[in-house]
Structure 1
Amino acid sequence: MKVTKATLGDIGRLQQFRRDAAAWLTARGSDQWSTSYPEDLLRASIEAGDVFLFYAAERDPVATVTLDTNADPILWQPEEIREPALYVHKLTLADPGGGNGLGSQILDWCGDRAAKADALWLRLDAWTTSTGLHTYYRSQGFSHLRTVHDERAFRSGWVAQRPAQFRDVGFDGPEG
């Protein structure tokens, strides 16, 4: 698996990832990601070097994730924000639910990057009503801390974390 940092030229593909994931989720009765992600925020994340694309043997990317230090103060407590952590956002697979373990590998890659950055935690938030996703994240070693019911959290108020850990997942690319 090859990992690259996304460029501004990847915006269309990143938006397509989200549309495809939203369609997949809608078919399963979820309204997660039913609104488009603001392009200016996506552009800022790309320019900060926080958006990654994952490639298998194919020419097109098979997944994306944003990994940064941006703790949303609506979701995370002040004492948590002071702890060194990396935050997973917008983990999206081209073949969601494919059962190939790619999501798990990407989370391990994120946890490895967190450990290399001397972070204590790998953290994420998930759609509040997506119980299947909550179960998946728990199976990946994440501990649920709380669910925030605040309209400013945009229905993504289920917050969880797991310890940052060094893991060699065999990806080639940025500090991988």
Structure 2
Amino acid sequence: MKALDTLDTSGGAAAPAPVLYVRAAVPGDAELLARWRREAAAWVARRHGNAQWSGPDRPERRLALIRRGATVMALLEPDGPAVATCTVWPRGSRRRWTDEERGVPARYLRKSAVDRAHAGRGIGRLLHEWAGHRAASAGALVLRLDARSDNPGLHGYYLDCGWRHVRTVPGMASGALFETPALLRPGLPVRELGEIRLPD
């Protein structure tokens, strides 16, 4: 599962982004993340005729990322249910990013998803801004991601959110590369719950 923020697009007028509460994911969140992945695959297939996220699931990888502290959950209330997630990783794939690019201090956004019931509220965008803030706090200059190469709707979403298309790696399913500046955003309406120690 790559970036699922196509889930946060509805085509209608966007409501003001809410305040988000972010906590570290725990192993008990794994089944919810698997369900969001299945729902995302079904939605993208219906809406765009695209096979994104329909490949084999890797639950062991999901749990490993949770245990490393890389995955977070976003809530609309401090004690409420999770409505979104993302994973922030400190290293980029050698198959996608050049040695020169990987020499730039960066963080890599992965496995981003918004619950379909909360799509269109700006949650995905706000969570990405939080990830960029945390990346900048750790000394990164850019936040990067790779998206499925054959999903132009998702590419358009990232461009609309201010990401820059770097290039598309030929022959790679998730080879559309994007980046955006990692910026400190002290006024961002995101509150962290407990300690969130993203991997260095």
Counterpart of 2:179 in structure 1 is: 161
Q: 1:62 to 1:143 in 2, by over 3 A?
A: same
Question: Relative contact order: is structure 1 or structure 2 higher (C-alpha 8 Å, sep ≥ 6)?
Answer: 2
Match of 2:170 among 149, 157, 169: 149
Query: Is contact 2:83–2:118 with CA below 8 Å preserved after alignment?
Result: no
Match of 1:95 among 78, 91, 116: 116
Match of 2:55 among 16, 26, 35: 35
SS at match of 1:172: strand
> TM-score, normalising length from structure 1?
0.91
Deviates more, 1:33-42 or 1:23-32: 33-42
Structure 2 residue runs without a partner (length 5+) = 1-19
Match of 1:85 among 99, 106, 118: 106
SS at match of 2:23: strand
Query: Is contact 1:114–1:122 with CA below 8 Å preserved after alignment?
Result: yes
Q: Structure 2 CA distance, aligned partners of 1:106 and 1:117?
A: 17
Superposition misfits of 4+ residues, deviation over 4 angstroms: none
Pairwise CA RMSD of aligned residues? 1.6
Q: For residue 170 of structure 1, report the CA deviation from its aligned partner.
A: 1.8
Q: 1:91 to 1:83 in 2, by over 3 A?
A: same
Query: Is contact 1:30–1:130 with CA below 8 Å preserved after alignment?
Result: yes
Structure 1 residue runs without a partner (length 5+) = none
Q: Structure 2 CA distance, aligned partners of 1:148 and 1:130?
A: 14
Match of 1:11 among 30, 33, 44: 30
Counterpart of 2:10 in structure 1 is: none
Q: Structure 2 CA distance, aligned partners of 1:65 and 1:100?
A: 16
